[in-house]
Amino acid sequence: MLPQEVIRAKRDGKNLSDEQIAFFVNGITKGTVTEGQVAAFAMAVYFNGMNLQERVALTRNMMHSGSVLKWDDLDLPGPVVDKHSTGGVSDMVSLMLGPMVAACGGYVPMISGRGLGHTGGTLDKFDSIHGYNTSPDLATFRDIVKNVGVAIIGQTSDLAPADKRFYGIRDVTATVDSMPLITASILSKKLAAGLDALAMDVKTGSGAFMSTLDDASGLAESIVKVANQAGVRTSATITDMNQPLGSTAGNAVEMLEAVDYLTGKHRNPRLHQVTMALSAQMLTLTGLASSDEDAHQQLQRVLDNGKAAEVFAQMVHALGGPADFIDKPMASMPAAPVVVPILAEQSGFIHRIETRDLGLVVVELGGGRTNPADPVDHAVGLTQLPVVGDRVEKGQPIATVHARTEQAAQLAARQLRACIDITSTQPKPTPVVYSTISPQQAEQIRID
């Protein structure tokens, strides 16, 4: 079998066999397929797509291109379950969700990524904590999952190595936004963690990679169908990213908001709704809850009695952070030296927030990256972010900038004002959670 013949078949619109896909993925992993051939294959898939059988085969072969974690030998008394988000601004759901689900009896081996472009990364948030190790060895990772119930770390080189090379080539050949390739990329990494179930959060709106509801729905359907065909019970919840999800955007500032959420000091309503919806999916998918109502009651209970916060504190300490982090979070996180309120220049209602541009304000401050190798300033960011529909008065703060210098703060203030439209009429409220696709509904989805 030759790589160029696999490329030719897909270029001509033919469906690839499992053997052809396995051969090509093996070539990506071992380097016997050139970068040019990988790029040509990606472009052929971009234009001609893949049917369900091809998507499942691509996902499975990329998943098995490296190590696949096994948990059976640990005799865990509960299911192994995880969540994945397609990315957004002020999306710190994972920080609370993992400990909440663990407090309800789940085991959450969450392998997360860093931020790139306008979106924030879960690992960057944890890197804000002095001593927290996002790259433990596999034995330590497994031990913490067993004893604490959750460990949030970064991807190791052993998990889905084919995807790492494939994605890097897609990134520079304008073939990232292909539904079959996005599906296989996400699921190959997640399923390699040896999950019993997966809850997907597919974002839509101005701050999401899938900006339209139709595109988000298409990706959600593809992921649910392929993941369930691959043997992992999976649901997908489509959530709104037409405005920041929480009250902060940055790294240390989002970590502090997560602590405030877990301890009950402050819970942004939009953030709370999405966190509860996804956590509930994880409980119902695995049988830890008999219904959505039962799941919400369990989750609220572990928030109210402090168990979720306790699990979070145990995880942070087990991975090298301070034992008292939940009580004194800012004692082990950096704080920006310049804090400047941004004042409204007119009275009215927050009518629209250009969420992607707001995320880029954080990047401009140094809190994000446009290149994977860029360093990140964990102290900078935005707090007290407004919500669409809020009434503001001229001269009233609509957000606060945390910056390294006065000059950077003033630039961020000008950029942020340009992201926020204030009008005299109050906009109609929009959903935070649009819909959820269950494993049962996956049976009705057709992918040609």
CATH number of the domain enclosing 357: 3.90.1170.30
Q: 118, 142, 164, 170: which one is catalytic?
A: 170
Say whether both 355 and 412 belong to one domain: yes
Residue 447 lies in a domain: no
What's the pLDDT score for residue 411? 97
Residue 64 lies in a domain: no
Residue 66 lies in a domain: no
Residue-by-residue pLDDT tens, the chain, 448 positions = 899 999 999 999 999 999 999 999 999 999 999 999 999 999 999 999 999 999 999 999 999 999 999 999 999 999 999 999 998 999 999 999 999 999 999 999 998 887 767 887 899 999 999 999 999 998 999 999 999 999 999 877 788 999 989 988 998 898 988 999 999 999 999 999 999 999 999 999 999 988 899 999 999 999 999 999 999 999 999 999 999 999 999 999 999 999 999 999 999 999 999 999 999 999 999 999 999 999 999 999 999 999 999 999 999 999 999 999 999 999 999 999 999 999 999 999 999 999 999 999 999 999 987 776 778 999 999 999 999 999 999 999 999 999 999 999 999 999 999 999 999 999 999 999 999 999 998 778 888 7
Tokens of 189: 């990494």
Say whether both 245 and 344 belong to one domain: no
Residue 146 lies in a domain: yes
Say whether both 339 and 322 belong to one domain: no
Say whether both 273 and 399 belong to one domain: no
Residue 448 lies in a domain: no
Helices of type H across 91-245:
93-103, 122-126, 138-148, 161-171, 179-191, 213-229
Other beta carbons less than 10 A from residue 265's beta carbon: 10
Say whether both 86 and 164 belong to one domain: yes
Q: Quote the CA–CA distance of 168 and 172 in Å, as a whole number.
A: 7
Q: 125, 190, 270, 356: which one is catalytic?
A: 190
Residue 56 lies in a domain: no
Say whether both 307 and 199 belong to one domain: yes
Say whether both 245 and 347 belong to one domain: no
Q: Quote the CA–CA distance of 274 and 157 in Å, as a whole number.
A: 31
Question: Which positions ≥6 away from 214 have C-beta within 8 Å?
Answer: none
Q: 125, 189, 203, 378: which one is catalytic?
A: 189
Q: 59, 65, 82, 225: which one is catalytic?
A: 82
Please confirm, yes or no, whether 189 is among the known catalytic residues: yes
Based on C-alpha coordinates, what's the Rg of the chain? 22
Please confirm, yes or no, whether 225 is among the known catalytic residues: no
Q: What is the DSSP letter of 107?
A: B
Please confirm, yes or no, whether 85 is among the known catalytic residues: yes
Say whether both 186 and 213 belong to one domain: yes
Residue 54 lies in a domain: no
Nearest of 155, 157, 172 to residue 42 by alpha carbon: 172
Number of domains in the chain: 3
In our burial notation (b when 16+ CB lie closer than 10 A, e otherwise), range 189-206 reads bbbbbbbbbbbbbbbbbb
In angstroms, the Cα distances linking 289 to 103, 110, 137 are: 13, 20, 32
- Taken as a whole, the chain contains a residue count of 448
Q: 29, 59, 65, 85: which one is catalytic?
A: 85
Residue showing tokens 């009250």: 247
Please confirm, yes or no, whether 265 is among the known catalytic residues: no
The letter for the amino acid at 364 is E
Q: 29, 94, 122, 234: which one is catalytic?
A: 122
Q: 185, 206, 237, 239: which one is catalytic?
A: 185
In angstroms, the Cα distances linking 232 to 69, 203, 212, 284, 439 are: 14, 21, 27, 14, 9
Other beta carbons less than 10 A from residue 264's beta carbon: 11
Please confirm, yes or no, whether 290 is among the known catalytic residues: no
Asked if 343 and 298 touch (Cβ cutoff 8 Å), the reply is: no
DSSP β-bridge partners for residue 350: 422
433-437/233-240 β-pairing: antiparallel
Residue 57 lies in a domain: no
Please confirm, yes or no, whether 185 is among the known catalytic residues: yes
Written as one string, the DSSP assignment of 286-347 is HTSSSSHHHHHHHHHHHHHTSHHHHHHHHHHHHTTS-TTTTTSGGGSS---SEEEEEEPSS-
What's the pLDDT score for residue 148? 98
Please give the model's pTM, rounded to 2 decimal places: 0.94
Say whether both 210 and 275 belong to one domain: yes
Please confirm, yes or no, whether 127 is among the known catalytic residues: no
What's the pLDDT score for residue 367? 93
Domain hosting 34: range is 3-49
Q: Compute the Cα dihedral for 264, 270, 271, 274 and give only its sign.
A: positive
Please confirm, yes or no, whether 70 is among the known catalytic residues: no
What's the pLDDT score for residue 443? 79
* Residue 32, domain CATH: 1.20.970.10
Please confirm, yes or no, whether 84 is among the known catalytic residues: yes
Say whether both 319 and 390 belong to one domain: no
Torsion of CA 112, 113, 119, 125, to 10 degrees: 70
Say whether both 130 and 217 belong to one domain: yes
Exposed (0-12), middle (13-18) or buried (19+): which is 364, by Cβ within 10 Å? middle
Say whether both 215 and 94 belong to one domain: yes
* Residue 290, domain CATH: 3.40.1030.10
